Amino acid sequence: MAKIVGYIATSLDGFIATPDENLDWLNQQPDLNLGEHDYHQFIKSIRTVVMGRTTYDWIERYPGAWEYDGKRVIVVTSRPIDNPKGPLEIRADVGALIAELRGLEDGDVWMLGGGRLQMAFMERGALDEIEIYVMSEIIGSGIPLFPATGLRASPKLISAHMLHPVCARLHYRFT
């Protein structure tokens, strides 16, 4: 059975992007080396990437090549995507998608992007683990790590490490 995981960075004040969806604050430390926790290492362990429409639209606007070659990519949306940036599948029903993902046997699933879709999975008890990278940047406002939905949960902290003087990794398991 596939494990469904989150891997996301947040500012110290709890935002994943500025109000205009900018991530420039993540690049403030050019010498940042996350070692075994680096994105390029993480993505090697993933077979399926799931994202919401807002994240897909952001990726589509981002210049550069499709970063998910060789991965199954699923976008959760009720609207069609004309001329997608890369090969992908569309799903509209989160409950049916969770059942589908739970049946996978070919590798783990990454909930890519913002907290809304991750929260939808958490509300359904379908997010197994999450790695949160807390960056020593205060950006003042923006898109929150998780939207306020009223969900109460008590994930278990697996580990907490300082990876660099400007980055801490928090790894949680939902049980």
The verdict on residue 15 lying in a domain is: no
pTM of the predicted structure, to 2 decimals = 0.93
* In contact, 174 and 121? CB cutoff 8 Å: no
Residue span of the structural domain in which 73 resides: 4-8+29-129+147-173
Spell out the per-residue pLDDT of the chain, length 175, in tens: 889 999 999 999 999 999 999 999 988 877 788 889 988 899 999 999 999 999 999 999 988 889 999 999 999 999 999 999 999 999 999 999 999 999 999 999 999 988 889 999 999 999 999 999 999 999 999 999 999 999 999 999 999 999 989 999 999 999 8
In total, the chain counts a number of residues equal to 175
The CA dihedral of 155, 41, 21, 50, to the nearest 10 degrees, is -70
CATH number for the domain that contains residue 63: 3.40.430.10
Residue 114's pLDDT is: 81
**Residue 68: inside a domain:** yes
Total structural domains within the chain: 1
Residue 135 in domain? no
